[in-house]
A and B are shown apart, each in its own frame.
Chain A
Amino acid sequence: MKGAELVIRFLEEQGVETIFGYPGGAIMPIYDALYQSKVKHYLCRHEQGGAFSAIGYARASGRVGVCMATSGPGATNIITSLADALLDSVPVVAITGQVSQAVMGSDAFQEIDVLGLSLPVTKHSFMVRDVNELADILQQAFDIAVSGRPGPVLVDIPKDVQLAEINCQAVSRVAKSAATENTTLPFAVAKQLLAQAKKPLAYIGGGVHMAEALPQLQQFLAASAMPTVTTLKGIGSVDKGWPYHLGMLGMHGTQAANFAVQQCDLLLCLGARFDDRVTGNLQKFAPHARVIHVDIDPAEINKVRFADCALLGDMQQILPQIATPLNCSDWLAHCQQLKQQYSWRYDHPGERIFAPLMLKQLSERMPDNSVVCCDVGQHQMWVAQHMRFSHPRNHLSSGGLGTMGFGLPAAIGARLARPQDTVIAVSGDGSFMMNVQELATIKRFRIPVKIVIIDNQRLGMVKQWQQLFFNERYSETDLSDNPDFVALAAAFAIPGHTISRKDEVESALEAMFTWPGPYLLHVRIDEKDNVWPLVPPGAANQDMLTEAGA
C-alpha cells in the first residue's frame, strides 16, 4: 500500500470515526485514500474551523480529535487552533500534507516550515521523512496526545512519503502505556496540612475531569467537607447538590468565591495552574493560604505560586489518599453565608433583554446534558456565571488562549461527538463573524446546532475596558453595521428569529428547541450592559468592581 493509504488504515484501526479537514495539493494522496473509507470526513470551510471542530469533538467526548490540512496556508490556518488546544490541554492530532522532499527548502508552491511553526503551539510535532517510520510516528502522535497532560500533536507528511509504497499488514502499533511513577508522594504532609487547616478551600481546574476523576472528587468532598471554587474549565466539576460550592473564582468570578479564596488558610489546588485571570494580583492572591498542589504536569508546580506540598500524578489515585475528616464547621457556615449574601440578582429594569437572565432561562430550558460552546468576550463570562452545568464536558469555552471564533466550529464537533445531546453555540456578534463560514458545514451536513447570538453591536468586553480603564475612548469597537444575522443564516438554509424584549425570550427558546434542525436565535441587548463583578487589572481579588460601585 501507499503511505497515504497507511494513514487512513491507521485511523480506521485506531477507531477514529470522525475527522475534520480541507483538502489541497500536498495532501491529495491522503484525501484519495480517504475516498470510500469508513472514516467519516467533515469538510470544513476554513482549516481553523476544522481544527476547532476537532477540539470540540475531543472536549465533548474525551476522545482524540483529528483534523487534516494541506501544506502552506492550510497548515498555517490551523496554528491558532493548535495553540488553543495546547493552552486548554486538548488531545488533538493534526495531519498536514507537505511538499515533496525533493523540493523541500526551495520555497516551493505552498511550502512553509510547518514543523518550525508548530513548535510553540504543540505538545510535540513530527516530520515524517521515510514511509517506514509513518506507522510508528502516527502511533506516537496518538499516544503523546492523550498521555499525561493531554495536548495537540502535529504530523507533517511530505507528498512523496504519502505516495511511497510500503509493505505491511497491520498498521497500528502497540500503544505505549503511560509510565507509572512509583515515587512516594507526600500524602502524610498533605493530610497534616488539611487537618491543621481552619479554613480550607478546594480550587478545582480542568485537570480533574480530564483525569476522569470526578467520582473521586465527589468522594473526597464527602469525606473532607470543604468549600469549593472552580476555574472556567472546572465549571461543572462539583455536584450541583454540593452546598458549599461558591462558583467560579477570578476576574469575573463570584464575589463569594473570591472573598473565600482571599480568606482561606489552605488552598487545595486540583488540576489548575494559577492563571493570571484567576489570581489577579499574584502577590495578593490568597495571602493567608498554604498551598497543596495536585497535578499531572511537574512544570506547573511552583511555576506561579509556591506549593507547600506538591502531589504529582494521577488525580484518581491521589484524591482518595488525602481524604481527611476536617473540623471547620464555622468556616463552612461562613462560606454559605457569603454565597447567600452575594447571590446573583436578575431584577433588571425595563423591557430590554438582560443577557444574564436570558442565559439563566436558557440554562433552565435546555435539555439535560446539553453542551454549550462559547465564544470569547462578555457573553462567555455571562455563560460561565449564569448557566449551570452537570459536567465540564458540557461547557466548552476557550479558556487559556481566549480565541474568538471558537464557539461555532466547536459546537459542530461537539454535536458530531454526541449526536444524542443538544448542542448550543452561544456567541457574540463579534466572535460569531470570525468563523461564520462554518454555517456552510452545518448546512451541508444538517448538523442541528442551536446558535444563540448575543448582540450588543460592539466588541463588548473591549468596549467595557475602554469605558472603565481607557477614558471611554471607544477605539474600533463599534460593530453597529453588523449584517442581518437572521438573513445570513437563511442564506445557509438555517431558520432564525430576532428578539429584543424580555417577554419574547421564553417563546423564542421554545421555538428554537422544538425546531428539529439547526436554528439561529439573534438576541439584541443593550450595549451598556457590562459583566460584573470585575477584578480590575493589577488589583487583588477582593477588590472587585460591581455594577453598584461602578
Chain B
Amino acid sequence: MNHTLTITVNDEPAVVERLLQITRYRGFRLCGLDLKPLADTTGLLITLSVVSDKPVQLLTSQLNKLYDIKSLELATPDVAALRA
C-alpha cells in the first residue's frame, strides 16, 4: 500500500539519512522523495512516499522518535485521492 508522509525537520547533519535508513530498515520501500527548505529557513520540508504491506504506523511511530523531526503528517487515502 502507498503512503505519503509530510515531515518537517531541523536542518541537522544526517537527518535525511536517518529518515531513509529507518524507512528501509523497517520494511518500507521508498518511491518518492521531495525536499526543500522551509519558508522561514528553520528546517526542511520533506515529502516521503513509501510502499509496504506493513501498517504505516510501524514506520511513523519510529520516525516520530527521531529528535530532529518537528512534525509528521500522514496523508489519508481520501486526501491523497482528492489531491490526485
Chain A residues contacting B62 (CB-CB under 8 Å) are 299
Cβ-closest chain B residue relative to A144: B67
Q: Which of B11-19, B35-43, B45-53, B72-80 contacts A (4 or more CB under 8 A)?
A: B11-19
Q: Within the complex, what minimum Cβ distance (angstroms) separates A128 from chain B? A: 10
Q: Which of A63-71, A113-121, A450-458 contacts B (4 or more CB under 8 A)?
A: A113-121
Give chain A interface residues in 92-127, CB to chain B under 8 Å.
Answer: 115-116, 119-120, 124-125, 127
Q: Tell yes or no: A345 within 8 A of B by CB.
A: no
- Which residue, B25, B58, B61, B66, has most C-beta atoms of chain A within 10 A? B61
Inter-subunit contact B14/A115 (CB<8 Å): yes
Inter-subunit contact B14/A116 (CB<8 Å): yes
Q: Tell yes or no: A302 within 8 A of B by CB.
A: yes
Chain A residues contacting B64 (CB-CB under 8 Å) are 298-299
Q: Tell yes or no: B83 within 8 A of A by CB.
A: no
Chain A residues contacting B61 (CB-CB under 8 Å) are 298-299, 301, 303
Q: Give Cα distance in the complex from A394 to B39, angstroms.
A: 53
Known: A119-B21, A299-B62. A124 touches B67 (CB 8 A): yes
Q: Within the complex, what minimum Cβ distance (angstroms) separates A181 from chain B? A: 13
Cβ-closest chain B residue relative to A149: B65
Q: Within the complex, what minimum Cβ distance (angstroms) separates A78 from chain B? A: 18
Q: How many residues of A contact B (CB 8 A)?
A: 15
Chain A residues contacting B21 (CB-CB under 8 Å) are 119-120
Q: Give Cα distance in the complex from A127 to B65, angstroms.
A: 19
Known: A298-B61, A299-B62, A303-B61. A116 touches B67 (CB 8 A): no
Q: Within the complex, what minimum Cβ distance (angstroms) separates A138 from chain B? A: 15
* From B13, B14, B25, B58, contact of A303 by CB (8 A): B58
Q: Give Cα distance in the complex from A299 to B62, angstroms.
A: 6
Cβ-closest chain A residue relative to B68: A124
Q: Within the complex, what minimum Cβ distance (angstroms) separates B43 from chain A? A: 16
Inter-subunit contact B17/A119 (CB<8 Å): yes
Q: Give Cα distance in the complex from A124 to B57, angstroms.
A: 21
Q: Within the complex, what minimum Cβ distance (angstroms) separates B70 from chain A? A: 14
Cβ-closest chain B residue relative to A153: B67
Q: Give Cα distance in the complex from A144 to B65, angstroms.
A: 11
Task: Write the A293-313 contact mask toward B (1 if CB under 8 angstroms, else 0).
Answer: 000011101110000000000
Known: A119-B17, A127-B13. 18 other contacts (CB 8 A): A116-B14, A119-B14, A119-B18, A120-B25, A124-B67, A125-B14, A127-B14, A129-B13, A144-B67, A297-B65, A298-B61, A298-B64, A298-B65, A299-B61, A299-B62, A299-B64, A301-B61, A302-B55
**A residues whose Cβ falls under 8 Å from a Cβ of B:** 115-116, 119-120, 124-125, 127, 129, 144, 297-299, 301-303
Some 24 contacts from A to B, beta carbons below 8 A apart, are A115-B13, A115-B14, A116-B17, A119-B14, A119-B17, A119-B18, A119-B21, A120-B21, A120-B25, A124-B66, A124-B67, A125-B14, A127-B14, A144-B67, A297-B65, A298-B64, A298-B65, A299-B62, A299-B64, A299-B65, A302-B55, A302-B57, A303-B58, A303-B61
**B residues whose Cβ falls under 8 Å from a Cβ of A:** 13-14, 17-18, 21, 25, 55, 57-58, 61-62, 64-67
The 7 closest A-B pairs by CB, nearest first: A299-B61, A124-B67, A299-B62, A127-B13, A119-B21, A115-B14, A298-B61
